[in-house]
Amino acid sequence: MKTLVIIKPDGVERGLVGEIISRFEKCGFSVKALKITQLNRETAKKLYAVHEGKKFFDDLIEYVTSGPVVPMVIEIKDIGIGEGIRLVRKIVGATNPMEAEMGSIRGDYASDISHNVVHASDSEESNLYETPIFFNKEEILD
């Protein structure tokens, strides 16, 4: 299965790009697409459309457009999409760093719920929606 992970502006600014990629690689994932880019407001709103109207939405858009992000498609062989997404979310940790397990990326590095270092698609549907925002098919290795 393949899925999308985004290193957010705080992760890039704090020099955690290599560490975060390494954590996925150590768990058996390989990188199939990778770039560094800065989101404009329109793209950020599209990415987080599901959160539009929530009280944290404006701050979320402000923050995620504030600096470069590193989106990537990672792949792990021989497991299904559901299981793969559960594994990614285990590596990433809970959205709220107070609830994220020690040893997960957010448990180890996130400073608060807004600055939580990484975003990962949380379902097959969100992955199908989010991946094309960053990569077209030709940019993702087989």
Cβ proximity of 2 and 73 under 8 Å: yes
Kindly state the smallest distance separating residue 40's Cβ from ligand CMP, in Å.
Answer: 17
Q: Which is nearer to ligand CMP, 66 or 114 (CB)?
A: 114
Interface with ligand CMP by CB under 6 A: which range of 10-18, 23-31, 78-86, 112-120? 112-120
Q: Does 128 bind ligand CMP (CB under 6 A)?
A: no
Nearer to ligand CMP, 23 or 119 (CB): 119
Is 1 or 39 the residue whose CB approaches ligand CMP more closely? 39
Query: Is 133 among the residues that bind ligand CMP (CB under 6 A)?
Result: no
State yes or no: residue 121 binds ligand CMP (CB under 6 A). no
Report the distance separating Cα 12 and Cα 69, nearest Å: 6
Residue 119 bears catalytic tag = yes
Q: Which is nearer to ligand CMP, 57 or 81 (CB)?
A: 57
Question: What token pair was written down for 33?
Answer: 């697409």
In whole angstroms, what separates CA 39 from the centre of its chain?
14
The residue to which tokens 């470069």 are assigned: 68
56 binds ligand CMP per the rule CB under 6 A: yes
> How much helix, strand and coil, in percent to the nearest 5, is found in the chain?
45, 15, 40
Work out whether 106 is an interface residue with ligand CMP (CB under 6 A): no
Instruction: For residue 4, list its beta bridge partners.
Output: 73
Q: With left for phi above 0 and alpha for psi between -120 and 50, is residue 77 left, alpha or beta? A: beta
Candidate list 32, 95, 124, 133; residue touching ligand CMP; CB under 6 A: 95
**∠ CA(24), CA(56), CA(115), 5° rounding?**
35
Q: Hey, which residues are catalytic here?
A: 119
